Structure 1
């Protein structure tokens, strides 16, 4: 397993670095990869003194103040959603599950929409107000879904998914109502609910990074537990695992990662569905590989999606959620088709 992780990890890191350079270099002012690397190395203490600046001030500002924070934030958002999706699929034992199954995205969207509707985006904690409130409402949504799904001290998978669908529908109706009632802020609300990384500075990266780092470390440490759950709850219980509490903790951590990502980028769907499933097809069902590689794959997928969002119809920017939906919706339909065919074969 360690050999496979080292091999796949090396390939993933190489692809991540290449994608990072391409996404930073592409834009209205193209920048060569060598210059981008030199600018970033020049900011590192100890190494920067060895590099003589031979680039313009405007190039450095474009890299360090405009493109790099946006690209890095996209990488962190994609990694968060992908790892959370892998955890959801492991706990629910369903490749069609993703972080939005429990309605967390809709809960975060309600918090953000209320602030935007009343003009309170910067009323309490400045630029941190919107992410913090969206995070709080997403976490409250998780608690409500868990409460609705609980039966006799247990949380059946069917009830959990149904509760998530109910909350998504209800909270989505609230966002639609606010959008319909709004006149001055309708475009801002709609654009946030469709996802975007535009006008996001280093502060947003600082908000998300701790949740991603701690979440990945925790879920990776529970890889063997996820492997047991993938075999079935009865088999996991027979091995001595406290199934219900383990499911609750993993779902809580994955949902908080999702809420943190949604709070800084808006609602972006299908990332947690597509990436972990592709990783599983490549590496197999071992979550010791799926968790870390989903982080790499999610970052790569989101960076390319954001590059497409800002370049396909430039200077007009496509909402990031629209781009991921164009990729994810057909993929979701393909998974449904495969699952249908598998059931038909089993019935014969």
Structure 2
């Protein structure tokens, strides 16, 4: 079965960061169609390719020869494949009975009604359970510490393998190959089970019945019901109390509140527009609004044929192309990481990033030398 065709739990592990905070959201989202994007489809394909390659490696077979866009995805996910191989080989050299599983379905319904999910990679070695989760996104880095998705997977894996193995520790890892980001967290099994009983279970029971209190936050960003959520609308409109005020006249507490809510407001406004667009496209009416054709730019139907036609007409090929050096990531792929580092080590710099606002729990260290950091530097907002 392809990854896209798999069943998904109402209280899925991947959405747990949302329904654990806003318990009614899961039922509110239920029944709303999932909208596949180019990014989600690409992520699904990356997981399928990674699984195919790792199973081939496990069976002593050669990797499949990929073509076209699959070849690009294969190269981008290769760091994860190698990471898993190296991790297991290292553990196998220490624990002869170490075993590895790919796309292993786990059941965490002991803590979450009808809760189940699929772990990308599970390794059992010694007294430790290893969970590795592939994230193909290259935008925001994802971290393993306090990651409810990983921790629910781990609870399910303990239920699945706990009768055969006496686990003491759980090692959970986020693998984000396109950002060369691998982040891990370790918990005692007792800590994880306590979290499942005391924190997850009571919230999951409320979420399964659509009960509890609505709560807005960054977890609203990918909620399918965000555009039609009355509570989020009411919370977002509270920002209007600061409308037209000079920022210099706001108190420190008010400034912090506006920053906190502004990002949510931006995401909410987009969600409302997307919801309205979907309603109109389905034939429903929205007072004062309609769907029209947006602007578009001219584009070639076939760039190779354009070049061939113009060259035949007497135009010189160099005039038809812009000469531009490959970017660092693309160049590294062409040259190879090792050669890239050796040949260009003195020609690559990483400038200091622009000062930007971030939450206190952000993993990046705070800038303390304010004069140096902000002298002549334009402030950037994320």
Higher CA-based Rg: 2
What TM-score do the two structures reach when normalised by structure 2? 0.19
- Whichever structure has more helix as a proportion of its residues is 1
Q: Which has the higher contact order (CA 8 A, sep 6+)?
A: 1
What TM-score do the two structures reach when normalised by structure 1? 0.20
- Whichever structure has more strand as a proportion of its residues is 2
